[in-house]
Each structure stands twice: as C-alpha cells, then as structure tokens.
Amino acid sequence: MHFRKLLALLAILLFSVSINAQVYHQNGMVVSDNQIASEVGAEILEQGGNAMDATVATALALAVVHPQAGNIGGGGFIVYLDAEGFSTTFDFREKAPLAATEDMFMDKNGEYIPMINHNGLLAVGVPGTVAGLWKAHQKAGRMPWADLVQPAVELAENGFPLSFALAQHAERYYNSNEDEFMRMFYTDEDGNLLGFGDIWKQPELAETLKRIRDNGHDGFYKGETARLLAKHMAENGGIITEEDLAKYEAIERTPVKGTYKDYDIISMPPPSSGGASLIQMMNMMEQVNWDEIEFNSTEYVHIVAESMRRAYADRAEHMGDPDFNPDMPIDRLISKEHAQNRFSNIDWEKASPSDSSKFGQLYDGKNTTHFSVIDKEGNAVSLTYTLEWSYGARTGSPELGFILNNEMGDFNPVPGLTNSRGRIGSDPNLIRPEKRMLSSMTPTIIAKDGKPYLIIGTPGGRTIINTTFQTVLNVLEFEMPLDKAIEAMKIHHQWLPDRILYEGDLLSPDTRKALKAMGHNLESRYRLGRMMGIIWDQENGVFIGASDSSSPDGGVAGY
C-alpha cells in the first residue's frame, strides 16, 4: 500500500465511529482485530495477491499496530482451504528451549513457584511466527515475499496514529512498575509518552522487519536478529540461544476433520487442542433434539456446558505435542461413536461432577488474536496467533523492538498434579526440550460442498475452543446471521475448575437461578472471546464479514 494512501485512510479511521455490523464485499475480504491491518491485507488482495499473500501482510501489519497480540515474537496456527477443496495446516507454535527441563518452574523442594512460568524471560518459548508465515507463503503464496512485508516496514518506520485503546495501554504501562522496555514502549524519540492521535514510530522494529523482508525465514532465525535476541536472553536470565533459533522450523500438518449435518469442519490438529475438541462437541450437538430446546434456555446452557466439561476432560488427559505423543487417540476422540458415548452419560436434571482423579473416564457410557481471509477465487485462511498474555512476557530487546511471548506457561508446570483449581499435570503436556506446548487456539474453516463457507476464530486463552464452538453452532444449527452469531451469549466450562463462566449481561437471572439449582457453579465475565469471521454466500456472490464489537480497533476490509 502506498504510504500516503495509508495515512489518509488512517486519518479517516482514527476519528470515525466504528459500527460492528456485517460488511459485504464481492472480490475478497480480511477481518482482523485491527482495521489498519485488515486494510493492508485487502490492499494485497486488490493488487492480485491471494489469500495466503494477504495473510502474511496482515499478520506482519498486526505485529506493528496490534502489539498486545499481533506478533513476530510468538507463534500460532494456520488452517488453509483452497478453491479446489485441498486443505492443510501450518503449525508455528512456540517450542521449549533446548535448556528447558520438566521441573524448571519448581523450587528445590519440588514446589511450584507461583507465576514464574508466566513472568520474565524464562517464560519465553522459541518464537514461531516468522517461520510459519514463511512456510505457508512458500506453499501457497503468489506475490513476492518482500512485497508482503513492506507495508509492515512502512507502518513501523513512518508511524501511524495511536488509537484510543492503544493510548490507554500506553498510559498504563508508562506509569507502571513494568521493566523499562514496556514503560518506554509507547514513547517518542525523546522518551515522551504518546497520546491518542499521536504518530507512533517504531524504528527498531522497522529494522527487524527489514531483515525479515530481505532474508525471509533466516532474517529472524539467523544473523543479526538471532544474535541480538540470544544476547538479550543471556544478559537477562533467559535460556533461548542462537542454536534454539537456528533449529526452529514450522511444520505442515494434516487437519483434523469432522462433519455437522451437511457441513465439513476443518480445523487445527495437536499441538492445538482446539480442532479435536470442537469436533467432539459438535458431534455431541448432533445428538440433541433442537426442536425441543430453545437457544439461551436453561436446557441449552446445561447441555452445552456438559458437552464442554467432557471435551475438556479428554483434552486434559490425552493432548499435547504429537511429535512427543505419537499415540494420542485423536481419531477416537473425534469419532461419532465417542460423542454418542459421552452424550449418553449426561444427566438432563443435574450437573455432572468434575473429578480431577478420573479425567474423562468419569463420563464413559489472557492474549491472542485471530483473523480470517478469503480471496476472489475462494482460497481461505483462518489464522490464530498469540503472545499468550496481553503483551506476552511484557518484555523484549530494546534493540529489536518487539514483545516476547510467555508461552512456557502453557505447559503443565508440576508433573502429576491435577487439582480442582484447574492445575493439570498429565504427561502429554509436560515440559521437554524442543516440545511445543498445548494450545487452545482453534482457527477453523467450515466447508459446504467442498467450498469455504465459514472462516472463524477468536482469542481468549482456554475459552477459545468454546467460543468458537458456540459461534459455529449458532451459524450452522440456529442459522444466525454472522454478526448475531458472534455477539450472542457465550458460556465457558473447562472441566476444572468446575464452573460455568457466563457473559454477565446476557444470561437471565431466572436461568442462572435454575442452573444453580441443578448444581452448576456460575461466575460472571464481561465478555468471552473476540470473534473475527467471514461467510461466503455463494448463492448471492458476496463475502460477509463481521468483527466482534468487543474489539475496539477491529474491522473488516475488502474490495
């Protein structure tokens, strides 16, 4: 995108009112957590790039304009479905460093050191984003790599107006006790705090992006960037080395697939737990007589929560990095028979127990971002990537300009300890050198007659799977328009802790009272998830996009 054109667009966006309703385009669409990044991706589509080209450009633009989750210092997953019906996935989840150990977050007495696996450089996994984008582009991209990185370079080098949401973050970190990198993150060249509408330039990040632009994969994992990152780690208590970076590779994996009525579900396999859990729950939903159950009723919330409870128990027991767990029973977990078995055990009158000693055997009988892309030919990409918490480890190298993840916190930190508070200690997700930590990210494409129909995903930590599940159910079963499906009431149950999280102003007091009488524990949240979706309405020849209203800077772009 020409930079003058981009600045003119930003000025319009900055002072315009955001309306989070459905948007329609005919030739291509990008829906992301930031309108600027969506416009960058849409411009690539308009220039003749395909969905994967737009994905690379959007992801790297998000690393500049949405730094709380958009990243080159984290990792994630891509689900891809082309116009001919071929599907694949790209796993660029972070990995444990070579020096990582099973007990690295425990003291000499074998006790877990609270929050150590989320704070500081020990919490950083080897980043995968650049490797994943590079590998996916090599497989399915069309435009030159450098042309796709250049918009992000220009955004970082020339700056962009700080949104109101980012200005609030800036003030909070500037006045916090965070390390110097985060305190000075949103400042000008003289160290002055930036405010709403000020132009924010990131020269160090621009130089890092230029090396990625000019050298591709090796521009991050070898050479100057790798040297500076390893140096920063060594000087500040981290354990990632140049060898860790040089050894990192993204992996192309076969998707997990299921069906719901006449639709095909294509989603991410392990080390994401999302795809298999989503398919398992959708299989259980096929057992429900929806003619007798109303959306948002007590019966609806109960049956959805009980299905979540069972899927998350199986997740905790069985799932981890497939390269370290070759015998995971994924085919069984996503089978119709397994869902029937799990569903038949649900008591329609009361809540099931969540027993930390039994996992799923009992039932026999805070930041990520997502975007969705489709091009005029019908190639589709669903990408979710993350730093784990908002702003990840809340630190980074001042010489490189990007924030590092704290994904080591997604491993099970205490071997063998699974308790009612939600601590999981099962073996498949224990720390091992070069192992990928289990994830809940659930980038998903729903296909109809071999063509993309719904491209969907969300941030939200462990709530990701359930938020995606309910949105898919809303579209496929309840036939909601996309914006309504995204905004409709969501709940979350993850087996342990044994509670239903619900969106406080969307679940009626009478329903809450009835659920408590059935034995459910309830806890209010303001919102669950931040969905970004596209529906391809082939009958009318349009793409329909919607960005969750809970995303202050999110938006839809296309042409």
In whole angstroms, how far apart are CA 478 and each of 58, 73, 352, 457, 537? Answer: 31, 39, 26, 18, 17
Q: Can you give the pLDDT at residue 426?
A: 83
At 319-356, the pLDDT tens digits run 999 999 999 999 999 999 999 999 999 999 999 988 77
Catalytic residue among 241, 368, 463, 467: 368
Contact indicator for 333, 256 with CB cutoff of 8 Å? no
Q: How confident is the model at residue 11 (pLDDT cuts 50, 70, 90)?
A: very low
Q: Which amino acid is at 149?
A: V
At 51-77, the pLDDT tens digits run 999 999 999 999 999 999 999 999 999
* Token output for 338: 């397994």
C-alpha 87/C-alpha 493 separation (Å) is: 30
Chain position carrying tokens 């997740």: 315
Q: How confident is the model at residue 103 (pLDDT cuts 50, 70, 90)?
A: very high
Q: Can you give the pLDDT at residue 20?
A: 55
**DSSP secondary structure letters along 220-237:** HHSHHHHHHHHHHHHHTT
Q: How confident is the model at residue 176 (pLDDT cuts 50, 70, 90)?
A: very high
Read off the pTM: 0.95
Q: Give the chain's domains with CATH numbers.
A: 43-76+83-250+395-429 (no CATH), 253-368+439-558 (3.60.20.40)
Q: Can you give the pLDDT at residue 15?
A: 39
Chain position carrying tokens 């960005």: 547
In angstroms, the first-to-last Cα distance of the chain is: 14
Ranking 9-13, 239-243, 372-376, 378-382 by mean pLDDT, the lowest is 9-13
478 pLDDT exceeds 90?
A: yes
Contact indicator for 98, 434 with CB cutoff of 8 Å? yes
556 pLDDT exceeds 80?
A: yes
Q: Can you give the pLDDT at residue 10?
A: 52
Contact indicator for 426, 319 with CB cutoff of 8 Å? no
* Token output for 277: 């859990």
C-alpha 278/C-alpha 314 separation (Å) is: 12
Q: How many CB atoms lie within 10 A of CB 12?
A: 10
Contact indicator for 63, 40 with CB cutoff of 8 Å? no
449 pLDDT exceeds 70?
A: yes
13 pLDDT exceeds 90?
A: no
For the chain, the C-alpha Rg in angstroms (whole number) is 22
C-alpha 400/C-alpha 204 separation (Å) is: 5
Q: Can you give the pLDDT at residue 362?
A: 61
C-alpha 295/C-alpha 522 separation (Å) is: 18
Of residues 555 and 415, more confidence is placed in 555
Smallest CA-to-CA distance from 397 within 160, 104, 16, 72 is with 72
- 368 assigned to active site: yes
| CA-based max dimension of the chain | 66
Q: Left (φ > 0), alpha (ψ -120 to 50) or beta: where does 550 sit?
A: alpha
Q: Can you give the pLDDT at residue 32?
A: 98
What value does the mean pLDDT of the chain take?
94
* Token output for 16: 């315009």
Ranking 12-26, 84-98, 525-539 by mean pLDDT, the lowest is 12-26
Residue 58: exposure state from Cβ atoms within 10 A (0-12, 13-18, ≥19): buried
Average pLDDT, integer, range 471-493 = 98
Exposure class string for 443-473: b at 16+ Cβ within 10 A, else e = bbbbbeeeebbbbbbbbbbbbbbbbbbbbbb
Q: Can you give the pLDDT at residue 275?
A: 98
422 pLDDT exceeds 90?
A: no
Residue 150: strand, helix, or coil:
helix
C-alpha 432/C-alpha 99 separation (Å) is: 9
Give the full edge-to-edge strand order of the sheet including 28-32: 251-253, 87-92, 75-81, 380-386, 368-375, 28-32, 555-558
CA 267 to chain centroid? 13
C-alpha 540/C-alpha 250 separation (Å) is: 38
Q: Can you give the pLDDT at residue 219?
A: 98
Residue 136: strand, helix, or coil:
helix
Average pLDDT, integer, range 435-444 = 97
Q: Can you give the pLDDT at residue 178?
A: 86
Q: How many CB atoms lie within 10 A of CB 243?
A: 13
* Token output for 56: 């690379």
6 pLDDT exceeds 70?
A: no
Q: Can you give the pLDDT at residue 517?
A: 98
Chain position carrying tokens 């069985």: 318
Ranking 113-117, 120-124, 126-130, 416-420 by mean pLDDT, the lowest is 416-420
Residue 327: exposure state from Cβ atoms within 10 A (0-12, 13-18, ≥19): exposed
Average pLDDT, integer, range 110-123 = 94
Q: Can you give the pLDDT at residue 3?
A: 47
At 189-210, the pLDDT tens digits run 999 999 999 999 999 999 999 9
Smallest CA-to-CA distance from 118 within 341, 404, 358 is with 404
C-alpha 160/C-alpha 63 separation (Å) is: 13
Between the CA atoms of 319, 88, 52 and 265, what dihedral angle is there, to the nearest 10 degrees? -80
